[in-house]
Amino acid sequence: MGSKRTLGVVLFEGFELLDVFGPLEMFGLAAEHFEIRLISETGGVVASRQGPKSVCDDSFQSAPAIDVLLVPGGIGTRREVNNPVLLDWLNERSQLAELVASVCTGSALLAKAGVLDGLRATSNKLAFAWASAQSEKVQWQQQARWVEDGKIFSSSGVSAGIDMALAVIAKLVSEQAAEQAANFAEYTWQRDADCDPFASVVGVSESA
């Protein structure tokens, strides 16, 4: 492995802004360890659910080898779970990546692509019923801030992706690097992956 890992972030129309840019703020604060690439099916400009657009570095076809694959959620996942091009690409690239991470309903895409078969994973609690319905082969965890199973990380909704990203940095780089990123951003890192107050707030039960 070289001095930097390539972090590929999958974008699609209707992605959730914080799902992407919350984690990227943290990975960007460890820029000496990660090279960030924004990737979409055809490249170009992709609009978020909130409206602001992002310019992708690569298309699926032109994307380089990816060490860390990040899959966000957002309302666009409701469409993309039926996109065979995206699902096939996620399956292929997940097999090759060192680590795969999803935020929010991004886990629904990984589940539909077969990436999570036999693994533990979580998702956005408000959308948990929909996300978990995408595959019965996943051991869905109804109460978790994030879940780590082998090389697959999955987080709960939106802001939980920041805590997960810091956990990924701690795993791949060091605990100190993660702490430095959190402190620079003046962010209180929730280190306990099982601390999930929103499961009870939205009425999701404690066991999968």
Collapsing DSSP states into helix, strand and coil, what is residue 191?
coil
Query: Is 142 part of any domain?
Result: yes
List of residues 6+ apart from 207 with CB closer than 8 A: 142, 143
Tokens standing for residue 207: 């066991």
* Dist. CA 43–CA 33, nearest whole Å: 24
Q: How many domains does the chain have?
A: 1
List of residues 6+ apart from 11 with CB closer than 8 A: 20, 38, 39, 40, 46, 54, 56, 72
Query: Is 159 part of any domain?
Result: yes
* Dist. CA 22–CA 163, nearest whole Å: 9
Type of residue at 2:
G
Query: Is 41 part of any domain?
Result: yes
In angstroms, the first-to-last Cα distance of the chain is 36
Type of residue at 8:
G
Instruction: Count Cα neighbours of 195 within 13 Å in the Cβ-side half-sphere.
Output: 7
Query: Is 206 part of any domain?
Result: no
Query: Is 188 part of any domain?
Result: yes
- Which residue range is the domain that position 121 belongs to? 5-201
Q: What is the pLDDT of residue 207?
A: 37
Tokens standing for residue 20: 């992407």
The DSSP code sequence of 76-121 is THHHHTT-HHHHHHHHHHHHH-SEEEE-TTHHHHHHHTTTTTTSEE
Q: What is the pLDDT of residue 158?
A: 87
Query: Is 207 part of any domain?
Result: no
Distance of CA 156 to the CA centre of its chain: 9
Query: Is 66 part of any domain?
Result: yes
Domain CATH for 94: 3.40.50.880
Strand 99-102 with 152-155, pairing: parallel
Query: Is 61 part of any domain?
Result: yes
Could you tell me how many residues make up the chain?
208
Instruction: Give, in degrees to the nearest 5, the angle at Cα 29 between 76 and 197.
Output: 55
What are the average pLDDT values for consecutive 10-residue runs of the chain, which has 208 residues?
87 98 98 98 98 98 98 98 99 99 99 99 96 98 97 96 98 98 98 90 55
Q: What is the pLDDT of residue 197?
A: 87
